[in-house]
Amino acid sequence: MRMKTAQILMECLLEQGVDTVFGYPGGTILNVYDEFELHGYKNKIRHILTAHEQGASHAADGYARATGKVGVCFATSGPGATNLTTGIATAYYDSSPVVFITCNVSENLIGKDSFQEVDITGISMPITKCNYLVKDPDQLADVLREAFAIARSGRPGPVLVDIAKNVTAAEAEYEPLPLAEHPNHGRLGAMLRRASHDLKTPEPDAGDIQTLLDMIEHAKKPLVLVGGGVIRSRGAVPEFRTFIETLNAPVASTIMGGGACPGNHPLFTGMIGMHGSHASNHASDQCDLLIAIGCRFSDRVATNPATFAPNAKIVHIDIDRAEIDKNVKTDHHIIGDARRVLELLNAKLPPHDYPEWKQWVFSHKEVPLKKDEILHPHEILETIQDVTDGDAIIVTDVGQHQMWCAQYYHFSRPGQFITSGGFGTMGFGLGAAMGAAVGNPGKVVVQCTGDGCFRMNCHELCTAEHYNIPVITVIFNNRTLGMVRQWQNLIYQKRFSQTDLDRGPDFVRLAEAYGIQGERAATQSEFETAFRRAVAAGRPYLIECAIDKDAMVHPMVSAGTPVTDFILD
């Protein structure tokens, strides 16, 4: 059938099972937005209008991470498109599947520095899996189908589709195509095959699997390191838990691996790296076999690659061949999807046990937590854990509060901890929390943020209030850029340059200005009372927590030093 290409775009979204879009309209994308009214797509696809395009990008990302679906974000040309770039990069570094759809100026105006024209495909090329500029109406449907396939396949990630405005006003033939039939569809199938490097996951080599089994058989002190790849791989977590319980060895996690191994599991040693636990960091230093699954060995994990796991044979399991030996030299690797690799290992792995090794690892105790008249960060997280029975989805910004969440909240499932791990995006939290809440109605979603981060995108409170998205915002307010101050305190001889946040706003009154109830808490009992009220309210809520200006994340390893060289215990 023949129809407007703007309508074809909407039909393609429905083919993909899209039920929610986050976005912000503008001149070049108006033909697309008109379809919400003209043909009633507003009754089939929910559109969330955010306060800023960056908020929309983070919301689509949070939705994707919390649901496992592909997130979708709309924006107009020029500044609308460039406002997405931080969100695109955030999704790219954490392998989150989001399709960003922008519309550019008409084809006859491209390249002429036209009003609100920008080469968004050129700008976003390094931070997307793939991107497109659509100039041919007949290609739009298949380009959109391919974009979704690439976003969700292999190592997931963001894809951008930019459409010239004149294309959205044109007409083209549209043939409805169920999602299951896409790989076998003529021209689309050919396009998908051309993109096979993105769409086909290699079957793990049987010899590589056996080599790892042999290495396990000879190991005396193995350590498993789990990263975000296990979270992103569909169905990998049950296989992972079978693997670690059969191996019965200590398990450490990167920040992106939170939820793969339950935080209260007897084998779990905690986070590893710059703010890793004593048990995890010392275990990595003394293990004789390190099995890393779905992690990148970033500089926050392998703080000094040359000295990381110096006594171990390092085995790296990853879907992306480009990650192998990129940061840390390995002794063996297996290329493949985490779920499939673990499935093959579990089929042949006999039960093991390492009682003396585990006893040594878990003998490394953490610093005792303070309990006194003031409110401490761990008390905030412990209270959230207790009140929600550990079932809340925690979304963070970046900084001290992010590390405290990773350390003190016991995540138990994929999608329960949503944070910007790779790109470290301040301002990520509120948008991502809204996306997570929209995708998980009925779940308690808590945005944990710092006063510095919250200022960056607090205008999205109007979005949460308007759509009644029940995000509970908990501000760890230490009146400073906490993590930067911690570095200044420990490394820069207390030269606190430009980190004091001795200014407004009054966060409670700001929330009230947006029609959201706010409270303050200075003790654990005050916070518990306020948080219980927030959960019971079932609507957006804000709690400002007064914490010590010099509260620090314990422990800490300086950048570029071995993970056991703690400068802060």
| Residue corresponding to tokens 């010590």 | 548
User: Which residues are bridge partners to 163 per DSSP?
Assistant: 103, 134
324's torsion region: left (phi>0), alpha (psi -120 to 50) or beta? beta
Q: Pick the catalytic residue from 129, 165, 221, 313.
A: 165
In the residue annotation, 54 being an active-site residue is answered as no
The reply to whether 53 belongs to the active site is: yes
Which of the residues 483, 488, 519, 552 is marked catalytic?
A: 483
**238-257 residues labelled b (16+ CB within 10 A) or e (exposed):** ebbbebbeebebbbbbbbbb
At residue 135, what are phi and psi to the nearest 5 degrees?
-115, -10
Short-list 166, 51, 54, 46, CA closest to 100: 54
Paired sense of beta strands 2-4 and 171-173, if any: antiparallel
**Catalytic hit among 116, 139, 286, 517:** 116
Round to whole Å and give the CA distance between 248 and 271. 18
User: Could you tell me the end-to-end alpha-carbon distance of the chain, in angstroms, rounded to an integer?
Assistant: 68
- Which of these is catalytic: 53, 117, 343, 519? 53
Active site residue 165: yes
Decide if 116 is catalytic: yes
Helix/strand/coil (H/E/C) assignment for every residue in 163-212? EEHHHHHCEEECCCCCHHHHHHCHHHHHHHHHCHHHHCCCCCCHHHHHHH
Q: What is the largest CA-CA distance in the chain?
A: 72
- Continuous segment of H or E residues that includes residue 224: strand 222-226
Is residue 191 part of the annotated active site? The answer reads no
The residues annotated with a catalytic role in the active site are 53, 115-116, 165, 483
